[in-house]
Structure 1
Amino acid sequence: MSSHDSSTPSKTILQVNGVGKCYTKFDSSFVRLMHWAGFSSNAKTEYWANRDIHFSVQSGQAVAIIGQNGAGKSTLLKMITGTVRPTVGTIAVSGTISAMLELGLGFNPEFTGRQNAYMAGGLMGLSQKQLDALMPEIEAFAEIGDFFEMPLRVYSSGMQARLAFAVATAVRPDVLIVDEILSVGDSYFQHRSFDRIKQFKEQGTSIILVTHGMSDVRAICDHVILIDKGQILKQGAPDEVVDYYNAMIAQKENEKLNIEQKRDEQGWLKTRSGSGTAVVTKLVLQDAKTEEEVAAAQVGQALNLVCEVLVNGEIPELVLGMMMRDKQGSVIWGSNTFHTKAVQTDLETGDRLRYTLPFECRLGPGSYSVTTALTRGESHLDQNFEWSDNLLVFDVINVDKNIFIGSQWLPNAFAVTLDKSHTKTVSN
């Protein structure tokens, strides 16, 4: 796993080798007692929450751990922080760890926010003098007003998240672990929190993020680890693992599907999954006037996105979805024929469909991709016939518009008025 900056020397801050955690359930308390006394017994069952986990994290690197609920993510984080001991394997941490694993973990509901901040800071190893100096910043960042002096039991979950994050990040740690806790906060605080996470990363803190927000993973992380049934199923670049995970979710919700991945010469990862009952045979970008194929669109150009589909079986209901993303994987736009009320019904083998999506190119200069999805219902979780990530890649160039930055073009110029009606006061 590479560091965040190849020009900056990095060191291994976390090393996980062959880690596994086994929980044992005994048939009775007597059998448990005999086991503790050193006697063997078959009257027990074993459950491995994690098994054979290997990975490392470099200084300044952001790593996401993703997977469905119950996959073993939280158990792994507890072993990394030392609150749970692994049954097998070793974990080596070089530096300080600040972890936000569970909402309210370590807080006393009868203590005020200030008292809980002192208590949690003390558990982090901070002295009374350090906490006295940090408390104004903690209070300011949490932004909970008068509630800072009120008992935690009157806090909303979002307020608890604000306090927990403010305390956990009062001092920049070597490793910051965040497990879903920010998802309970409001969008404003999530934005501020991720800004601080990015700042820490730039300053050399290693980030371990557990989240179901794949956009956060694409935006922040350098490496992604996918865990399924307690084991690492796949790890690698964010686009590769996230796209595979999305396809895997559809696979679990539908019949057995194929998942194929390949990266083109421009670096775009193309992931395809689905039953193949309906497939995209052609996806092109055309000039709306000439209908000629376009590889590099111009800002402001009228375009048509044309998609041709072949039906390979009986389909009672077919929905086409499209999504545009930029080079960083951020979604620029997305919709489907379910929402536009253009669902096709009672299709048979051999039927062919042609979809045309006209639009004005208001994208900024750069490289973009189009993902297509053929499903039965509103999402690919309801009979995924075909999902193709980054099936079409195109560039946008600015030929005749004023220079601008960003991913969106606003087709307006500044209107300026100058008021010279004011009078100058001349002193004698």
Structure 2
Amino acid sequence: MGNIVVSNVSKAYKRYPNKWARMLEWITGRHQHKKAWVLRDINFTIEPGEAVGIVGINGAGKSTLLKIITGTTQPTTGSVRVDGRVAALLELGMGFHADFTGRQNAYMTGQLLGYSVHEIDVLMPRIEAFADIGDYIDQPLRMYSSGMQVRLAFAVSTATRPDVLIVDEALSVGDAAFQRKCFRRIQEYKEAGTTLLFVSHDTETVKKICDRAIFVNGGIISKIGKARSVCDAYERLLFGVAVNTNESKNEIVPIYDATLVSKSVEVQYGSRGAEITNVSILDAEGAVTNIIPEGHPISVNYDVGFNESADCVNFGMMVKSVDGVCVYATNANANIQNSKKSFQSGESARVRFSLQGNLVPGTYYLNVGVTKEGLEKEEMLHRRVDVLIFRVVSAHPYSSNGFANLFGNVEVKKK
């Protein structure tokens, strides 16, 4: 149980030139449409208990493929065989009714998954405990946030261990703590023998929890194999091109990814006695970047304009993880060669922190700030929280986890 076999699957949708063409085709029997192929000749087999990730840009055909595997969409050609009970978390809240309460939706979705009413009665305390939405369980779904909806959907879909668990990007909506809770359950089911099919843009998560990965690009399988090598190929497409540095090694050239936008999450505060502007991350050649190969040097730069005179000024920066953990923080006065400086109103400063990018692959957030000494404590003149988002991508053959890249060398000798 838990076997998935996808054989020669292709999917096309009809594309009509105008709103009348469909009716004309129905009346005359003559084709008025063109076929838009979103998947072409997809073939792969997933063994029971295997964890496989699917990666690819938006529009590559990943979600269509999952819908075909779960049976909600039929392929134009080819076939799919799935053995065992399937739990699928695809589009957010798919199958939920906005006017039903969370409890009613749980019963309705549970029955669609094949549970009897009695079985759902037994499982309901487990569902409520995992979703952890409190009294909202008896409120209409239209009152839920997107995060609450995904909590309930995941709790219902995984109330018992399925033979096959299929998870699309829906988990990215939940908060960091709930994501951790979900991944613990996924790991628990995986270890118990559940087959996992996991779609995500977060390649580091795919590498950590999946044995193999499939790179779907333009409706075809571009690469299939070990998760790390497939994710590296996907990252090269997204973030840079491979450049031959010697005969045996490829290196990722850092570039700027315009989709890493921090505007919606940035927070600013302080007395505004100074103003921080022009925050940037530069690579070793001085080019603006937010995609950094693991271990490569970078610099954090920003300008500060002073709106009022300030004595004993200090400049700082901090790097945080996605879930808000401080990965590294420092300030100008941490370097004993820097004396505390004073500035007059109207003056400005250029700040530069030179760093070695010893972070493991993942997504990180940059904070910057400027303070001055007050009578009792430092006064925050201006702080910009999550001002930039940047991503560290793999540039080494070995696997690393955590935050810091401490790798130097490994020596193993027989005693």
Q: Whole-Å Cα distance in 2 between the matches of residues 30 and 222 of structure 1?
A: 49
After superposition, the C-alpha distances for 1:136-188 in whole angstroms (9 at most, x for unaligned) are: 11011110011111111111111111100000001111111111111111111
Q: Is the 8 A contact 2:297 2:355 kept in 1?
A: no
> Equivalent residue of 2:72, what SS?
coil
Partner residue of 1:272?
251
Q: Whole-Å Cα distance in 1 between the matches of residues 180 and 168 of structure 2?
A: 16
Q: 1:151 to 1:335 in 2, by over 3 A?
A: farther
- Structure 2 residue corresponding to 1:236, chosen from 205, 209, 225: 225
Q: Whole-Å Cα distance in 1 between the matches of residues 409 and 361 of structure 2?
A: 11
Matched, 1:80 2:86: no
List aligned pairs for 1:208-287, cutoff 5 A.
Answer: 208-251=197-240, 257-258=241-242, 271-274=250-253
List aligned pairs for 1:273-312, cutoff 5 A.
Answer: 273-274=252-253
Q: Whole-Å Cα distance in 1 between the matches of residues 298 and 234 of structure 2?
A: 21
List aligned pairs for 1:67-216, cutoff 5 A.
Answer: 67-216=56-205
Partner residue of 1:48?
37
* TM superposition outliers: structure 1 runs of 4+ over 2 Å: 26-41, 257-264, 270-276, 315-324, 338-341, 356-359, 368-371, 378-381, 391-398
> Equivalent residue of 1:390, what SS?
coil
Q: 1:275 to 1:175 in 2, by over 3 A?
A: closer
Q: 1:72 to 1:136 in 2, by over 3 A?
A: same
Where does structure 2 lack aligned partners over 5 or more consecutive residues?
256-283, 304-353, 363-387, 399-406
Matched, 1:390 2:396: yes
Q: 1:358 to 1:143 in 2, by over 3 A?
A: closer
Give the deviation of 1:82 after TM superposition.
0.5
Give % identity: 42
Q: Whole-Å Cα distance in 2 between the matches of residues 100 and 222 of structure 1?
A: 20
Letter in 1 for 2:151: R
> Equivalent residue of 1:98, what SS?
strand
Q: 1:133 to 1:260 in 2, by over 3 A?
A: farther
Q: Whole-Å Cα distance in 1 between the matches of residues 42 and 7 of structure 2?
A: 6
Q: Is the 8 A contact 1:141 1:166 kept in 2?
A: yes
Give the deviation of 1:338 after TM superposition.
3.6
List aligned pairs for 1:372-411, cutoff 5 A.
Answer: 389-390=395-396, 394-395=408-409
TM-score by length of 1: 0.62
Q: Whole-Å Cα distance in 2 between the matches of residues 260 and 99 of structure 1?
A: 42
Identify the range of structure 1 (47-56 vs 31-40) with the bigger mean alpha-carbon deviation: 31-40
Cα RMSD after superposing both structures: 3.8
> Equivalent residue of 1:209, what SS?
strand
Where does structure 1 lack aligned partners over 5 or more consecutive residues?
1-10, 252-256, 265-269, 277-308, 310-314, 325-333, 342-355, 362-367, 372-377, 382-386, 399-428
